[in-house]
Amino acid sequence: MIDGMLPTISTASPALLALSEQHRLYRTMLLMREIHHRAIALQRQGRIGSWLGSEGQEGAIVGSAFALEADDWAFPSYREHALALVRGIPTVRLFHHLYANAADSIIGRNLPPEYSFREVNFVSVSAPVGNQVPQAVGAAMAKQAKGEPGAVITYFGDGTSSEGDIHTGMTVAARRRAPVVFVCQNNGWAISVPTARQTAGEIVRRAPALGLHGVRVDGNDALAVHQVVAEALHRARTGGGPTLVEAMTYRLGAHSTSDDPTKYRPETELEAWRKKDPLPRMADALGLSEAERAAVLADVRKEIERAVEEAEQTPQPEMRTMFDDIYAEQPWHIAAQAREALRAH
């Protein structure tokens, strides 16, 4: 996988995952693709606030998520929705968050889609790009200091890779041999800026300079991503130090629901990458017939429909909740503000 410290393109070793798990991996990828399409429709209809999708990147996200174990922690960026699904979070809870209703784990206090699921070690997504990386390194060092099992994984994009936080985090992690894996999803675009215009060199080649293991993988091959990340996590858990994984993929949709990629991205480039779509590629690898693919699609659409219906029927958070969780013990002035607000309401 790594020749000295030089990065290489990796290919899949399908035997790493049982066939039943490969089928579940494909279903999760398809579920995430359909959640993406439904979320865009809901946002356009004014039923949810915003959405940042992962269309085209499901192979990198789901493939890597399947390599995690129960003791591992995840510090995601804003496209790793499917990682929560792989960790066991039901689809409806993603929609509870998008609707910011009373069943939302954050009670509507964070922008959609910036989830937090403490029970599965899925740390809150935050809007500033890159700050999850030093946080992940700190969590990995804490595990190391306490002798706790497991590793930490964190995600960022090619644009975010130019942030200072990334370099600081990786430098400290390498020096301390922290049990952390950095996954850079290089999707070709930092919103409207192509990768070649925002960095002069190959991202993965920063790894040997910083003292990390480094590997580049075909991010649209879910099984290859799984293999590479599983090896990196094993290395981290067994004291072998951190790894930078650069997953070469492509964002097929817009950066977010406030973006129009037709203004900056050539259609020919998009069409070329559609031919490398990770979903049909995974279905082909499994040898699924058209009827089998259609059956899985119908199944995930039913799941999404039930989730949306439940989320829309769930009430909004009560006003009093905005005064909770500010202090461990509520001081007098917060209590006074709460009484005044609730009386006026």
Which amino acid appears at position 41 of this protein? Answer: A
Establish whether 301 is a catalytic residue: no
d(CA 345, CA 340): 9
* Main-chain dihedrals φ then ψ at residue 74, nearest 5 degrees: -125, 130
| C-beta separation of 204 from 7 below 8 A | yes
In contact, 21 and 227? CB cutoff 8 Å = no
- Where would I find the beta strands (DSSP E) of 148-268? 152-157, 180-186, 189-190, 193-194, 213-218, 243-248
The catalytic position among 36, 96, 97, 251 is: 251
255 in catalytic set: yes
CB 214 within 8 A of CB 207: yes
CA distances from 236 to 52, 117, 140, 216 (A): 30, 23, 9, 17
340 CB neighbour count, 10 Å cutoff: 10
Q: Is 250 marked active-site?
A: no
Q: Select which of 36, 38, 96, 255 is catalytic.
A: 255
The catalytic position among 44, 175, 197, 264 is 264
Q: Which amino acid is at 183?
A: V
What residues are labeled active site?
Answer: 251, 255, 264
